[in-house]
């Protein structure tokens, strides 16, 4: 399949003429989800979930549908009647020709004083790609391509490295990187690449690769 890294946490996957988009949030391009046949959203934070970007996609394709957890579904179900599906940990479904498994339940801890929101990750086509959202969820099966959250208020570099080691993907591509400055990127590239034990790569926004 073709994988296109959009800005921050948004990813587009294309296969057999169909397009699946994950997390077209407020830090991604305005048209990040336009052209999608199906959209997956990991959680309700605005850098992953933006109703305006969803509306643009849903209006562009009246057959497009959304799969997401309850916290997001309850906010948008009325806007897109019959086109929003609620999912949770352990669920499996097919979206735009992609087989999807749902993993995880909670967002990573930002601070002990803050309540944890819900979060799910999506394993695509039997482990071809895994997008964890804002959590360090480890699926119960092998992962070929890990979309790796590299910089967030809830993470530190040592945790990122340990996550790669635990998942053991064939390759890891950076996501959740909009807050990472150009000065810091070589540091992350060097350390994650040297210590993670997997092929670590970074795609510029809108760049693509085959996985």
pLDDT, tens digit, 9 for 90 and up, residues 147-166: 999 999 999 999 999 999 99
Q: How confident is the model at residue 114 (pLDDT cuts 50, 70, 90)?
A: very high
| Residue from 149, 150, 128, 155 nearest 139 by CA | 128
Q: What are 61-106's pLDDT values in tens digits?
A: 999 999 999 999 999 999 999 999 999 999 999 999 999 999 999 9
In this prediction, residue 50 carries a pLDDT of 98
**Is-above-0.95 flag for pTM?**
yes
Average pLDDT over residues 112-117: 96
Percentage of the chain modeled with pLDDT above 70: 100
Q: What are 2-47's pLDDT values in tens digits?
A: 999 999 999 999 999 999 999 999 999 999 999 999 999 999 999 9
Cβ atoms within 10 A of the Cβ of 27, count? 21
In this prediction, residue 24 carries a pLDDT of 98
Contacts of 203 (CB under 8 A, 6+ apart): 4, 5, 173, 174, 209
In this prediction, residue 27 carries a pLDDT of 98
In this prediction, residue 63 carries a pLDDT of 97
Going along the chain from its start, the domains and CATH numbers come out as 2-210 (3.60.15.10)
């Amino acid at each position: 399949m073709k994988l296109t890294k959009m800005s921050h946490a948004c990813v587009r996957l294309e296969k057999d003429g169909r397009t699946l988009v994950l997390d077209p949030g407020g830090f991604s391009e305005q048209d990040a989800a336009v052209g999608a046949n199906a959209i997956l959203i990991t959680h309700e934070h605005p850098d992953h979930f933006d109703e305006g970007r969803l509306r643009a996609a849903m209006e562009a394709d009246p057959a497009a549908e959304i799969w997401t957890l309850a916290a997001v579904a309850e906010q948008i179900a009325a806007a897109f009647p019959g086109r929003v599906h609620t999912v949770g940990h352990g669920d499996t479904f097919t979206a735009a020709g992609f087989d999807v498994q749902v993993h995880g339940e909670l967002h990573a801890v930002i601070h002990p004083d803050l309540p944890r929101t819900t979060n799910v990750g999506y394993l695509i086509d039997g482990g071809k790609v895994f997008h964890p959202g804002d959590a360090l969820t480890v699926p119960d099966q092998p992962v070929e391509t890990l979309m790796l959250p590299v910089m967030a208020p809830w993470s530190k570099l040592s945790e990122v490295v340990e996550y790669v080691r635990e998942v053991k993907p064939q390759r890891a591509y950076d996501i959740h990187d909009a807050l990472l400055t150009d000065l810091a990127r070589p540091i992350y590239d060097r350390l994650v690449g040297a210590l993670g034990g997997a092929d670590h790569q970074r795609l510029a926004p809108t760049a693509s690769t085959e996985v």
